[in-house]
Amino acid sequence: MRNSPRWLQRLPSVQAEHAPRSLARIVALYAAGFGLFVISLVVRFWADPYLPAGFPYLTFFPAVIATAFLFGVGPGAMVALLSGLASWYFFIAPANSFVLDLGAFLALSLYVFVVVVDIGLVHLMLRAYRAETAARGEMERVAELQQMMTNELDHRIKNIFATMNAIISLSQKHSETPADLADKLRERLNAMGRSTMLLRGLTDGDAATLGLVLNQALEPFGLVEAGRLETRGAPFEISGQAMVVLSLIFHELGTNSAKYGALSSPRGRIAVAWDSLVGDEGQPLLRIQWVERGGPKPEPNSHKGFGSALIPRVLATLGGSWDAVFADGGAEFEIRVAPERIGV
């Protein structure tokens, strides 16, 4: 981790928990431990003429501790065993034998006690370090996730305020009385609120799809129950911010249709379809088509009110565009937006 010395992180004993346990790696660790044992044995033979009696393990204790610390408990235990046997055979009287008298037994018992304690302490220290490293890594991961969520929340709040600002300014422009302004604000904010409640109501495993948002936005008009809404398109999951924007757009289209279009006639119907296409510059786009039939002949001037001004404003937050065609059979609207701007 960032606060740990790099050399400590690279120790084989520290990496042993997560490194792949290949045969070659295991052989290399035990071979390195055996090399330390050989060095300690050579040094012990070299120092033997200069040492007083009673120091058979002088060079072996450091070898055991170093091996366990550097290469792990397994190689450390191997070096402890080889060192004990070498001390017993070469440096505990009678030399060059495995005679187990009382003196040899006491010396070996002391050796076993010391190396078991040493290896145990090294094991506990390495385990504590690995646990602390893992905990620090988890804290950093949580902090990064929290920062990402904070940035996403900040982005969504800014978009919501931008949308609300457009709603307020355009509502004020197209309202004749304070009561009319209050009614329009209430309708649009309720549309935004329903999309938020839809998002909160999703359980684990559920997805907010384009069709689900469309049905929720047009629920106040009773189209689904009356069989006046036809939808066509593959399931397409959308993000929380896109839910708010698209819900508001569908609500505005439904409101305009109820005032001037197909929904103002009992026989009027609405068909909404979405599919994928390639833009003029080769970029993938999601196309949403809103087609009205069975209503009065549309007049373009009747649609130049609040909705036609609001939709481009809020759609711009998703980087999208829209077109309107007022044919004799009914109004037609087309929305185009990059899939990655609204998808999850």
pLDDT of res. 6: 61
Residues of the chain with pLDDT > 90, as a percent, come to 21
pLDDT of res. 191: 63
Quote the Cα angle for 88-91-95, to 5°. 85
Q: What element of type H or E holds 192?
A: helix 178-201
pLDDT of res. 298: 79
Give the pLDDT mean for 179-204.
64
- The answer, yes or no, to whether residue 46 has pLDDT greater than 70, is yes
Give the pLDDT mean for 129-136.
80
pLDDT of res. 152: 54
What's the pLDDT band for 2 if we cut at 50, 70, 90? very low
DSSP character at residue 296: P
Instruction: Decide the pairing of beta strands 269-278 and 321-327.
Output: unpaired
* Per-residue model confidence as pLDDT tens digits over 196-239: 555 555 544 556 788 888 888 887 777 767 788 899 999 898 88
> What is the CATH superfamily name and number for domain 178-342?
Histidine kinase-like ATPase, C-terminal domain (3.30.565.10)
CB atoms within 10 A of CB 217: 23
What residue spans define the domains of the chain?
6-142, 178-342
Mean pLDDT of the chain: 80
- The answer, yes or no, to whether residue 4 has pLDDT greater than 70, is no
- Strongest mean pLDDT among 174-188, 263-277, 307-321: 263-277
Q: Which two three-digit tokens encode residue 56?
A: 């058979």
| Overall pTM > 0.85 | no
Collapsed DSSP state (helix, strand, coil) of residue 169: helix
Quote the Cα angle for 44-47-49, to 5°. 120
Instruction: Decide the pairing of beta strands 229-232 and 284-293.
Output: unpaired
